[in-house]
């Protein structure tokens, strides 16, 4: 008999996320009424992601790279359940842990210690189990006496350290990370990289958004390049990184050429 196939940790099929350019939080009622009565020039919607399909196997660490505005963080928000897909299908199997959802769950007035227990409840963990994990989470975060200070007094780096410690201590089946492995000093970065590798070896599925291309090639076993909401490459990390570097260099050269052309048509006054 053939061994039973292990299901993918994440399956994404023709995912699309569409945003409205008219109906934003800053749009007033008067603006909205005006928009409905007047036809405006230019697009009213745009696709942050379109026709995105990929799988993450158990034990895979997928790095998502690309230029700013490519849709990387939007993708993580969809996987975390923060955003609903406009079209397509997403299936995430198992317990999800994400710094995106943990950050949203932090209570600014509570201490770091109390927020650990709050995050455990938010993740559906038993209180007694979280109490057992509490010392290890505090030790890994390594923020000293600030653990008993209100979260509102934390720097962004301290928040990220505490959130990462919680997210990776609850033994998730799927871990979602967004630009946190560069947080803190060199010692903490080494600790966080080791923790992620332990999760990979424990057959967890990981999706990581990062601009640290060294991390992608050294520690991830799969990479995906996003550009303007579309997947343009997926495969071995070193191949995808090379394509991203080449594409970024071309884009910079094109921008420099446009700027030089624009400046050539202007005359600066001589003082």
Q: What are the DSSP calls for the chain, one per residue?
A: -PPPPPPPSEEEEEEEEEEESSS-TT--HHHHHHHHHSPPSS-SEEEEEEEEEEEE-TT-EEEEE-STTSSHHHHHHHHTTSS--SEEEEEE-S-EEEHHHHHHH--TTSBHHHHHHHHHHHTT--HHHHHHHHHHHHHHH--GGGGGSBGGG--HHHHHHHHHHHHHHS--SEEEEES-TT-S-HHHHHHHHHHHHHHHHTT-EEEEE-S-HHHHHHH-SEEEEEETTEEEEEE-HHHHHHHHHHHHHHHHHHHHHHHHHHHHT--PPP-
Handedness of CA 168, 171, 172, 174 (dihedral sign): positive
125 contacts 134 by C-beta, under 8 angstroms: no
What's the distance, CA 244 to chain centroid? 18
Strand order in the sheet with 96-98: 96-98, 174-178, 205-209, 61-65, 222-227, 230-235
Query: What is the C-alpha to C-alpha distance for residues 226 and 232, in angstroms, rounded to an integer?
Result: 6
Task: Say which residues have a Cβ less than 8 Å from residue 4's Cβ, sequence separation at least 6.
Answer: none
pLDDT 10s digit of each residue in the chain, 271 long?
A: 545 567 899 999 999 999 887 654 444 445 545 554 545 556 678 899 999 999 999 889 999 999 999 999 999 999 988 899 999 999 999 888 886 655 556 889 999 999 999 888 877 788 999 999 999 999 999 999 999 999 999 988 888 889 889 888 877 889 888 876 655 677 888 888 888 878 877 868 999 998 889 889 988 899 999 999 999 999 999 999 999 999 999 988 988 888 888 888 665 555 5
190 contacts 181 by C-beta, under 8 angstroms: no
Tokens at 88, concatenated: 């397509």
Query: What is the C-alpha to C-alpha distance for residues 17 and 5, in angstroms, rounded to an integer?
Result: 31
Q: 155-213 pLDDT, tens per residue?
A: 888 888 898 898 888 778 898 888 766 556 778 888 888 888 788 778 689 999 988 89
Task: Name residue, tokens 């943990």.
Answer: 102
Give the burial class of 30: count Cβ atoms within 10 A of its Cβ; 0-12 exposed, 13-18 middle, 19 or more buried: exposed
């Amino acid at each position: 008999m053939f061994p039973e196939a292990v299901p993918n940790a994440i399956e994404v099929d023709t995912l699309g996320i569409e945003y409205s350019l008219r109906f934003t939080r800053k749009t007033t009622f008067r603006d909205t009424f005006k928009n409905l009565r007047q036809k405006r020039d230019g697009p009213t919607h745009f696709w942050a992601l379109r026709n995105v399909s990929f799988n993450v196997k158990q034990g895979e660490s997928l790095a998502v790279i690309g230029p700013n505005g490519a849709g990387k963080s939007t993708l993580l928000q969809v996987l975390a359940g923060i955003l609903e897909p406009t079209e397509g299908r997403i299936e995430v199997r198992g317990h999800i842990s994400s710094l995106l959802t943990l950050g949203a769950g932090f209570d600014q007035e509570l201490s770091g210690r109390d927020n650990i227990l709050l995050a455990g409840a938010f993740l559906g963990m038993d209180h007694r189990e979280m109490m057992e994990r509490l010392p290890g989470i505090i030790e890994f975060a390594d923020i000293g006496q600030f653990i008993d200070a209100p979260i509102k007094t934390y720097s962004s780096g301290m928040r990220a350290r505490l959130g990462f410690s919680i997210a990776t201590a609850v033994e998730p089946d799927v871990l979602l990370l967004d630009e946190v492995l560069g947080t803190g000093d060199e010692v903490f970065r080494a600790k966080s990289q080791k923790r992620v590798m332990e999760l990979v070896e424990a057959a967890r599925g990981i999706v990581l958004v990062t601009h640290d291309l060294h991390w992608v090639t050294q520690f991830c076993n799969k990479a995906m390049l996003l550009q303007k909401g579309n997947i343009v490459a997926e495969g071995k990390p070193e191949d995808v990184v090379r394509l991203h570097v080449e594409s970024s260099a071309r884009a910079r050269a094109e921008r420099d050429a446009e700027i030089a052309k624009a400046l050539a048509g202007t005359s600066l006054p001589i003082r």
